[in-house]
Chains A and B, each alone.
Chain A
Amino acid sequence: DIQMTQSPSSLSASVGDRVTITCRASQSISSYLNWYQQKPGKAPKLLISAASSLQSGVPSRFSGRGSGTDFTLTISSLQPEDLATYYCQQSYSTPWTFGLGTKVEIK
């Protein structure tokens, strides 16, 4: 199985801050990397697919980049509604696997 390692596991930032979350795969996965946002008590929501493709309706302050084994999700200007846990997921080979998540809190 491909292991996905996210860092940090949690962070606290102020409104307007730039926030970056890192995801590392245990082997090369090309750009087969998706990012999800899960708000408390809700199902995950797809934010970015194929490492950098922003989904329709997702604010442009979210962006993703990377390929191979190293990926990042960036929130350019943190907003109160971005309080959530963010997960990366590889779609290179089954079993599909997720990172353990990064919990984003607002200071």
Chain B
Amino acid sequence: QVQLQESGPGLVKPSETLSLTCTVSGDSISSYYWSWIRQPPGKGLEWIGYIYYSGSTNYNPSLKSRVTISIDTSKTQFSLKVSSVTAADTAVYYCARERFDIVTGQPAFDYWGQGTLVTVSS
């Protein structure tokens, strides 16, 4: 059974950098795309970006200037950094696996972490 677990500080000061790690267990980190998705309290879901096991990335243009996603295949982990955070970055952050359907070839998020709340406040 694939499991994803987010970890990192729950409180970050304004203007600082938010850093989270997602640890993957139960399957290889190779051959999949790995995403970060966030959800402000009481609001909807926003895709932040993904990284392929090879290291190639794709970011949401709305956050691209502040976001870095990296991967460590030896540790089966991938990480998120968001710089210059403000209160608007307060959200539950999820990591998720993106798989391509065998029949249709279409992507979808099939496994998610439980999510971690990050609050931006001084």
Contact = CB atoms under 8 A, between A and B. Distances in A.
Nearest to A36: B109
B26 to A, nearest CB: 16
Interface in A16-48: 31-32, 34, 36, 42-46
Contacts of B60: 94-95
Interface residues of A, number: 25
Interface residues of B, number: 22
B58 A99 contact: no
B101 interface: yes
Interface stretch (B42-50, B69-77, B83-91): B42-50
A100 interface: yes
A91 B108 contact: yes
B108 A46 contact: yes
A46 B109 CA distance: 7
Given A36-B109, A43-B115, A46-B109, A100 B44 contact: yes
Given A95-B60, A97-B47, 19 more contacts: A34-B109, A44-B112, A49-B106, A49-B108, A50-B101, A50-B104, A50-B106, A50-B108, A53-B103, A87-B44, A89-B108, A91-B108, A94-B60, A95-B47, A95-B61, A95-B62, A96-B47, A98-B44, A99-B44
27 contacts: A32-B106, A34-B108, A34-B109, A36-B109, A42-B114, A43-B114, A43-B115, A44-B45, A44-B94, A49-B101, A49-B108, A50-B104, A50-B108, A53-B101, A53-B103, A87-B44, A87-B45, A89-B45, A89-B109, A94-B60, A95-B47, A96-B35, A96-B47, A97-B47, A98-B45, A99-B44, A101-B44
